[in-house]
Amino acid sequence: MQLKTNVLYSAKMIEDRVSSLAQQIQQSYPKDEKPIICLCVLRGAVLFFADLMKKMDDERIRFDFITLSSYESTSTTGNIKLVQDLRSDVKDAHVLIVEDIIDSGYTLRYLKDYFADKQASDVKVVTLLDKPMARKVDIKPDFTAFVLERPAFIVGYGLDLDQKYRNIDCIMEVIE
């Protein structure tokens, strides 16, 4: 069965927006000695994370990765599980969470609380896609590449449907 899709954001649109976001993010950090721990939320954010990090020019940047689970097939359960923890000590560090998509907000709320408990200096969030109409908790990203104004299931550029379509270089809406 062929997946029916509609391209929402082309590879060029994504590339341009990622460059712009990298500049905004860099300008938001004070010029201090604290490391900036850039945290990729695996697996969906990996392509966005890689492209964003290539555009950022700051010797304080450190990479780390975390894996959480809250989805079963195409829907969020709201029950967040820490599958793989990060390795970095974030105490007194700037933390930049790099997410693929924020919908319910449960994962983001979990992460912000998690890093507050670990005494991070500050926690900022950048997301590739924001779905504010799906929000279940009152939380907003600091930086957003694209806002989805209507309900849609998205694949491509790291986002999947049952682990498929992550490698597509654009962002597509699945048409039912």
Quote the pLDDT of residue 176: 76
CB 173: neighbour CB atoms within 10 A? 19
Domain, as residue range, for 146: 12-25+33-150
The model's pLDDT over 41-64, given as tens digits with 9 standing for 90+, comes to 999 999 999 999 999 999 999 999
133 domain residue, yes or no: yes
The residue from 103, 130, 142, 160 that is catalytic is 103
| pLDDT for 126 beyond 70 | yes
pLDDT tens digit sequence for 25-40: 999 999 999 999 999 9
Looking at residue 108, its pLDDT comes to: 93
Q: What is the pLDDT of residue 171?
A: 98
Residues 102, 134: Cα–Cα separation, whole Å: 9
The answer for residues whose C-beta is within 8 angstroms of residue 47's C-beta and 6 or more apart is 157, 158, 166
CATH code assigned at 122:
3.40.50.2020
In a domain, 116, yes or no: yes
Q: Catalytic residue at 92?
A: no
Is 130 within the bounds of a domain?
A: yes
Tell me whether residue 2 is in a domain: no
Pairing of strands 143-147, 122-130: parallel
| 174 found inside a domain | no
Q: Considering its fold, how many domains does the chain have in total?
A: 1
Is residue 172 within 8 A of residue 6, CB to CB? The reply is yes
Q: Percentage of residues in the chain with pLDDT exceeding 70?
A: 95
**Residue 130: pLDDT above 70?**
yes
Mean pLDDT of 112-139: 96
Rounded-to-integer distance, Cα 99 and Cα 114, Å:
15
- The mean of the pLDDT values for the chain is 93
